[in-house]
C-alpha cells in the first residue's frame, strides 16, 4: 500500500501513518503484514479501496466493486466508497456497475449500451434519453 506514496516522495513515517490510518478506517488495523491470499474476499476489496484512496486522489474509478461479494459485505464496501467520496468536495467517484440498486444510490447515473450513452438520470429524474 505504500508503493504509490513512495513514488510521490512521501517520507517513510508519513507513509506508515497514512497506511495505518486508512487500514484502521476500513476495519483492517493490525493486518498490515498479511498477504492478500490470507484475507477474505471482502477484506481484499477493502484493501483495494484503501490502496486507491491512501494518497487522497481527486478521481476514484471503481469497476464492479461489489461483484464477487455477498450482499452484506457489498453494502459495507459501498458505504465505505460513499464516505470516502464525500470527504473531499472536489473528489470524483465513478462506479461501473450492472446493479441498478447500487447505481440508484448515487447522484447521477449514465446508462451505456454497446459503448454509447443511452440515458442519464440525476436526483431530479431523467435528464435525457438516447
What does the pLDDT read at residue 127?
A: 58
Q: Evaluate whether 77 touches 69 at the Cβ level (below 8 Å).
A: yes
Q: Evaluate whether 84 touches 60 at the Cβ level (below 8 Å).
A: yes
Task: From first to last of the 130 residues of the chain, give the pLDDT tens digit.
Answer: 888 899 999 999 999 999 999 898 888 888 888 888 899 888 888 888 888 888 888 899 999 988 877 888 788 888 888 888 888 778 889 999 998 888 888 889 999 999 999 999 886 666 555 5
Give a three-class secondary structure readout of 60-113. EEEECCCCCCCHHHHHHHHHHHHHHHHHCCCCEEEEECCCHHHHCCCCEEEEEE
pTM to 2 decimal places: 0.75
Q: State the Rg of the chain over Cα.
A: 17
What does the pLDDT read at residue 20?
A: 92
- Return the CATH number of 3-97, one of 3.30.360.10, 3.40.50.300, 3.30.70.270, 3.40.190.10: 3.40.50.300
Query: In the chain, where are the structural domains located?
Result: 3-97
What does the pLDDT read at residue 100?
A: 87
Please, which residues have CB within 8 angstroms of residue 39's CB and are 6 or more apart in sequence? 31, 47
What does the pLDDT read at residue 117?
A: 92
Q: Evaluate whether 109 touches 82 at the Cβ level (below 8 Å).
A: no
Amino acid at each position: 500500500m505504500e508503493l504509490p506514496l513512495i513514488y510521490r516522495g512521501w517520507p517513510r513515517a508519513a507513509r506508515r501513518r497514512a497506511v495505518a490510518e486508512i487500514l484502521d478506517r476500513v476495519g483492517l488495523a493490525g493486518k498490515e503484514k498479511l498477504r492478500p491470499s490470507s484475507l477474505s474476499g471482502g477484506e481484499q476489496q477493502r484493501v483495494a479501496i484503501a490502496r486507491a484512496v491512501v494518497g487522497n486522489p481527486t478521481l476514484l474509478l471503481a469497476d464492479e466493486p461489489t461483484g464477487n461479494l455477498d450482499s452484506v459485505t457489498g453494502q459495507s464496501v459501498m458505504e465505505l466508497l460513499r464516505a470516502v467520496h464525500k470527504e473531499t468536495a472536489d473528489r470524483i467517484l465513478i462506479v461501473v456497475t450492472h446493479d441498478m440498486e447500487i447505481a440508484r444510490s448515487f447522484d447521477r447515473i449514465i446508462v451505456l449500451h454497446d459503448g454509447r450513452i443511452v440515458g442519464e438520470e440525476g436526483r431530479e429524474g431523467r435528464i435525457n434519453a438516447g
